[in-house]
Amino acid sequence: MIIHLNGWPGAGKLTVARVLARKLGARLLDNHTLHNVAAALCDRGTDAYWSLYGQVRDLAYERIRVLPPDAVLVMTNAFLRETPRDVEAWGRIKDLAASRGDRLVAVTLDCDLDENVVRISGAGRADNRKLTDPEPLIAWRSEYHLIVDDAEDWMVVDNTRLAPERAADRIVAYLDGLPPSPRNPAP
């Protein structure tokens, strides 16, 4: 099973994903694990950056493909439907799940704008090369939309006033309510 959390920068994806991975005994691959290699070695947004990011992602996905069939993976991203690179990257995650025969559970982690602005300036974000300036976030939220796909298993969690444990509990409850798939029974 692959559980993918998509949400705005600062919405709490990594925090919730860590709790969720612990509760499920899952592996965690957050978007910054992939991006930080490129960010450490290239200027962000350049062709060299995106090339290196793609190489790192491809290596990680190759490894995911050979994980044991019962492996559960939690992933995070901030995918926007108006951005061709994000649409393509979401397609790669869907292909990854299909290539493993995994159930893909898409979770949109939402957060209202005021709380999102507070969180994006939070301590520790800069240390992880995460966005800390609220201005781009505000602009993105007024111009773009998170990818909401036609995934068979999809849910929204409004994380505005939820502790990470409670947000993860909602996801686990959703997973528990899914019918077993032929290859991968619900956790």
Each residue's pLDDT tens digit, 28-50: 999 989 999 999 999 988 999 99
Each residue's pLDDT tens digit, 66-124: 999 999 999 999 999 999 999 999 999 999 999 999 999 999 999 999 988 887 877 67
- pLDDT above 70 covers a percentage of the chain that reads 92
Q: In angstroms, rounded to a whole number, what is the distance separating the alpha carbons of residues 54 and 48? A: 10
Predicted confidence (pLDDT) at residue 159 exceeds the cutoff of 70: yes
Coil, helix or strand at residue 25:
coil
* Whether 56 contacts 11, CB under 8 Å: no
What 83-90 contacts at long range (C-beta under 8 Å, 24+ apart), as own/partner pairs, is 83/144, 85/50, 86/147, 87/147, 89/57, 90/6, 90/147, 90/149
Predicted confidence (pLDDT) at residue 186 exceeds the cutoff of 60: no
Strand partners, 156: 108
Q: In angstroms, rounded to a whole number, what is the distance separating the alpha carbons of residues 102 and 87? A: 20
Length of the chain: 187
pLDDT value, residue 187: 52
pLDDT value, residue 24: 98
Predicted confidence (pLDDT) at residue 185 exceeds the cutoff of 60: no
When pLDDT is cut at 50, 70 and 90, the band that residue 137 belongs to is confident
- pLDDT above 90 covers a percentage of the chain that reads 73
Least confidently predicted of 44-48, 137-141, 169-173: 137-141
pLDDT value, residue 99: 96
Coil, helix or strand at residue 48:
helix
pLDDT value, residue 126: 63
- The first and second tokens of residue 81, run together, are 């439907």
Compute the radius of gyration of the chain from its Cα atoms: 16
Strand partners, 28: 74
Predicted confidence (pLDDT) at residue 13 exceeds the cutoff of 80: yes
First to last CA, the chain: 9
| DSSP track, 107-147 | EEEE--HHHHHHHHT-TTTGGGT----HHHHHHHHHH--B-
Count CB atoms within 10 A of the CB of residue 43.
10
Ordered structural domains, the chain, with CATH: 2-30+71-176 (3.40.50.300)
Least Cα distance to 35 among 131, 100, 99, 138 occurs for 131
pTM for this model (two decimals): 0.90
Average pLDDT over the chain reads: 90
Q: For the residues 153-167, what does the mean pLDDT come to?
A: 95
